[in-house]
């Protein structure tokens, strides 16, 4: 079926993008290396479709992307041919949907808040100004972050209270995943499920693939378990999320885009 093709999946916040500044500049040599080698770079993020489209434009990325912790995968029309089996078509994309609709998640968060008595506040409870302040966004970027379809970020549960929230979510057929800044209420989706679906489309349309995934948070673990080469990018304090029993795990030497750069250059050199 031809040579094995490398496909790279990556988280954005705290991984390709700096946790504080959201800069990707330190990663530029590796981004250019992927482009020169013709390696698809797939964003796999907790961000919304509109947020992710902004970063695709900034990085001149033309490949499929996964949003809202695996809630859906968006594939540019024609990318995999006419028989990819999408759930719907929307805005020039074929869409594979894995998550639950956002209004359902909003109702569930309200019910969990009532049942636990915890002061849970999701993005749907916040103004764009508050989202901007909490995330370090410009107001226009906060407006894009608020346009959610499959995932509700929330705050108000510390480590002691979180198990009660997880139990209440599970009773409603939902799950809690944790990112770098917020917990997230999601349906039956995760990043790994979406990664596997796109991997299968690559294999069907282009032959054998070798997949790599880069992330920094617990919500990235399903993605890392779904790829051939899992890479943990360090946190700003130099530590990293534990991923127990993850075969072949690579730990990047630095945090954020600096660590991302070194890990991806290693992949391109065939050292990972």
C-alpha–C-alpha distance, residues 217 and 13, integer Å:
9
Q: Are 10 and 30 in contact (CB under 8 A)?
A: no
Phi-psi region of 192 (alpha: psi -120 to 50; beta: other; left: phi over 0): alpha
11 tagged catalytic: yes
Active-site residue identified among 11, 151, 190, 216: 11
What 3 state SS string does 204-237 have?
HHHCCEEEEEEECCHHHHHHHHCCCEEEEEECCC
Q: Which residue has the tokens 């006419």?
A: 82
Give SS3 for 85. coil
Reported as half-sphere exposure (CB side, CA atoms, 13 A), residue 3 has a value of 3
> For residue 189, with 0-12 CB atoms within 10 Å meaning exposed, 13-18 middle and 19 or more buried, which class applies?
buried
**Residues forming the active site:** 11
């Amino acid at each position: 079926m031809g040579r094995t093709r490398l496909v790279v999946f990556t988280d954005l916040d705290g991984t390709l993008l700096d946790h504080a500044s959201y800069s990707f500049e330190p990663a530029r040599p590796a981004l250019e290396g992927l482009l020169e080698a013709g390696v698809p770079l797939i964003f796999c993020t907790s961000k919304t479709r509109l947020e992710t489209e902004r970063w695709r434009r900034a990085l001149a990325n033309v490949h499929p992307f996964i949003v809202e912790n695996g809630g859906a995968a968006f594939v540019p029309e024609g990318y995999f041919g006419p028989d990819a089996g999408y759930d719907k078509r929307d805005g020039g994309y074929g869409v594979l949907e894995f998550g639950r609709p956002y209004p359902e998640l909003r109702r569930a968060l309200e019910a969990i808040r009532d049942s636990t008595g915890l002061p849970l506040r999701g993005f749907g409870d916040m103004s764009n100004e508050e989202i901007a302040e909490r995330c370090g966004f410009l107001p226009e970027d906060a407006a894009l972050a608020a346009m959610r379809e499959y995932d509700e970020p929330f705050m108000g549960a510390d480590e002691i209270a979180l198990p009660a929230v997880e139990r209440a979510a599970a009773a409603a057929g939902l799950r809690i995943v944790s990112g770098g800044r917020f917990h997230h209420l999601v349906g039956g989706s995760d990043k790994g499920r979406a990664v596997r679906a796109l991997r299968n489309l690559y294999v069907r349309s282009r032959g054998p693939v070798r997949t790599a995934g880069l992330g920094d948070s617990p919500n990235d673990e399903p993605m890392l378990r779904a790829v051939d080469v899992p890479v943990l990018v360090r946190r700003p304090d130099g530590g990293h999320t534990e991923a127990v029993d993850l075969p072949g795990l690579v730990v990047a030497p630095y945090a954020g885009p600096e660590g991302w750069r070194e890990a991806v250059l290693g992949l391109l050199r065939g050292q990972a």
